[in-house]
Amino acid sequence: MTALDLSSPVAVVGTGTMGQGIAQVALVAGHPVRLYDTAPGRARQAADAIGARLDRLVEKERLTGADRDAARARLLPAETLAELADCALVVEAVLERLDVKQDLFRELEGIVDDDCLLATNTSSLSVTAIGGALRTPGRFVGLHFFNPAPLLPLVEVVSGFATDVSSATRAYETARAWGKTPVACADTPGFIVNRIARPFYAEAFAVYEAQGADPATIDAVLRESGGFRMGAFELTDLIGQDVNESVTRSVWQSFFQDVRFTPSLAQRRLVESGRLGHKTGHGWYDHRDGAERPEPDTAEKRKPPAYVVAEGDLGPASGLLELIREAGIPVRDDGDDEDQGACLLLPSGGRLVLADGQTAGEYRDFVYFDLALDYRAAGRIALSASQDTSPQVLAEAIGLFQALGKRVSVIGDVPGMIVARTVARIIDLAHDAVAKGVATEEDIDTAMRLGVNYPLGPFEWSRRLGRTWAYVLLDDLHRRDPSGRYAPSLALYRHAHASDKREGTAS
């Protein structure tokens, strides 16, 4: 099944920001486009707004004047749904209420031809449930664009339980013909992006609720160590705390209140207080004119250790050894202390260990350091120590990373720290999604890179960190928090314990 022919009219119902964006995408691709909104005059206003954006594209030399004029001629506001009768595709972008969407598609089904593709842009409702109101749900599909639709490339093509393969394929190919990057997924709460992205917010909020660090510090660690474009607190202020919390709550409820998706009480209080982020002037941060942005906690300058002793394989952090040597600090590899796993032994006798889901308080003079996307490029490293950790040990650990040119943030004794627990949980949800037929590994990686600008897709992270890394960290976390929130999925367990050896077969 191929993409819709460019001569085929496309309709968009609902002319808010998303509806206008989708209409612009179809229009610039070359389709005749009809706009409809229940509010009188709204479709005409939306057409004018799209026309103004086309003018700006011409000014930026991204569109020729002739193409703009042709696109404007193809854009028609509709006063009634009946004017959409000859459309080959109708995309809905109306209020996120199941009854409203079902009523709309019931009415459309009596107007358009039987081969017209019907699509919803819902981000939180079940595609299956919306399509269940139709006589022919096989032609119904989810086309989830990301805002702003003309700029962001990702489109999640969602197959409901009754969606025909031919309908999903036609929607997929049409999105690709429009210059988008489509990914195919099953109808599951949150689809791909909003399902797998939950830990990015949840773990940041959990560290904050445990008084492990303040929002500015957590955000800085996620950006400067984890490689994420924005931290969780600043990103949710941009999205809107009410919007982000609503998506989290929807996914949680849709999964029958699965503890892995539990919403944040701190975020709930923020929403209840009316501090919704940029749109109200205050969220996690104060965005009012003249307000000062809080600085992340950064340790004062400390003297680096005279040497370090490398014990065991540091795995994802093995690149630190080269950085330490480049900084002029001798690295010895002949330590003969009792083996407590891979670590850097400090002159004071303390051990510097990559975050593994355990707490520093369980051991004598342990200092944990967080995961980094790239230890050479990282501008900041988080350290975690207990109240009983020797001040000298902590000072040497701080001084070591400062000698490598890193800013250092010391957080509370939080198992899994910040980046490590976040990445481990994202990897776990991704493996679980593949095992349950939600999407392929490739589509999940694509969706997370393009949909939320992650530096790596979950499976790219997994391959880089090693087969067992996420499982071991989450298993250790689960032992310390047996609520089930951190229990590794069966899919991750199987991945971690799969043998790379092929069994011989008898002839």
Describe the crossing of helices 469-480 and 490-497 by its angle, rounded to 10 degrees: 130
Amino acid at 482: P
- The two structure tokens encoding residue 160: 């409901």
What pLDDT is stored for residue 486 in this prediction? Answer: 98
Place of tokens 């949150």: 190
For the segment 74-129, what is each residue's pLDDT rounded down to a tens digit?
999 999 999 999 999 999 999 999 999 999 999 999 999 999 999 999 998 999 99
pTM above 0.75, yes or no: yes
Reported confidence tier of residue 435, pLDDT bands at 50, 70, 90: very high
- Determine the Cα–Cα distance for residues 254 and 124; give it in Å rounded to an integer: 9
Burial class from Cβ neighbours inside 10 Å (0-12, 13-18, 19+) for residue 279 reads middle
Q: Are 261 and 251 in contact (CB under 8 A)?
A: yes
What pLDDT is stored for residue 498 in this prediction? Answer: 86
Instruction: Output the DSSP codes for 407-469.
Output: EEEEE-S-TTTTHHHHHHHHHHHHHHHHHTTS--HHHHHHHHHHHH--SS-HHHHHHHH-TTH
Is 123 annotated in the active site?
A: yes
Q: Is the pLDDT of residue 507 over 80?
A: no
- Determine the Cα–Cα distance for residues 266 and 275; give it in Å rounded to an integer: 12
What pLDDT is stored for residue 505 in this prediction? Answer: 41
Reported confidence tier of residue 437, pLDDT bands at 50, 70, 90: very high
What pLDDT is stored for residue 501 in this prediction? Answer: 47
For the segment 440-492, what is each residue's pLDDT rounded down to a tens digit?
999 999 999 999 999 999 999 999 999 999 999 999 999 999 999 999 999 99
Catalytic residue among 92, 156, 203, 396: 156
Reported confidence tier of residue 333, pLDDT bands at 50, 70, 90: confident
- Determine the Cα–Cα distance for residues 127 and 160; give it in Å rounded to an integer: 5
User: Can you say whether residue 275 is alpha, beta or left, with left for phi > 0 and alpha for psi between -120 and 50 degrees?
Assistant: beta
- Determine the Cα–Cα distance for residues 14 and 92; give it in Å rounded to an integer: 6
For the segment 184-200, what is each residue's pLDDT rounded down to a tens digit?
999 999 999 999 999 99
3-state secondary structure 4-34: CCCCCCEEEECCCHHHHHHHHHHHHHCCCEE
Q: Greatest CA separation found in the chain?
A: 82
Q: Are 116 and 90 in contact (CB under 8 A)?
A: yes
**186: helix, strand or coil:** strand
Q: Is the pLDDT of residue 73 over 60?
A: yes
What pLDDT is stored for residue 503 in this prediction? Answer: 44
Is 295 annotated in the active site?
A: no
Catalytic residue among 31, 121, 124, 144: 144
Catalytic residue among 121, 159, 194, 384: 194
Tell me the percentage of the chain whose pLDDT exceeds 90. 96
What pLDDT is stored for residue 395 in this prediction? Answer: 98
- Determine the Cα–Cα distance for residues 192 and 186; give it in Å rounded to an integer: 9
Question: What per-residue string of b and e applies to 106-115 under the rule 16 or more CB within 10 Å gives b?
Answer: eebbebbeee
For the segment 338-374, what is each residue's pLDDT rounded down to a tens digit?
455 799 999 999 999 999 999 999 999 999 999 999 9
Average pLDDT, the chain: 95
Catalytic residue among 31, 109, 121, 123: 123
For the segment 140-188, what is each residue's pLDDT rounded down to a tens digit?
999 999 999 999 999 999 999 999 999 999 999 999 999 999 999 999 9
Burial class from Cβ neighbours inside 10 Å (0-12, 13-18, 19+) for residue 288 reads exposed
Residue 465 has phi, psi (to 5 degrees) of -85, -20
- Determine the Cα–Cα distance for residues 259 and 252; give it in Å rounded to an integer: 8
Give the angle 49-53-58 at the CA atoms, nearest 5°: 145
What pLDDT is stored for residue 9 in this prediction? Answer: 98
Return the bridge partners of 144, or none: 156
For the segment 251-260, what is each residue's pLDDT rounded down to a tens digit?
999 999 999 9
User: Can you say whether residue 214 is alpha, beta or left, with left for phi > 0 and alpha for psi between -120 and 50 degrees?
Assistant: beta
Q: Are 271 and 241 in contact (CB under 8 A)?
A: yes
- Determine the Cα–Cα distance for residues 209 and 223; give it in Å rounded to an integer: 20
Reported confidence tier of residue 335, pLDDT bands at 50, 70, 90: low
| Average pLDDT value for residue range 51-77 | 96
What pLDDT is stored for residue 504 in this prediction? Answer: 42
Is 156 annotated in the active site?
A: yes
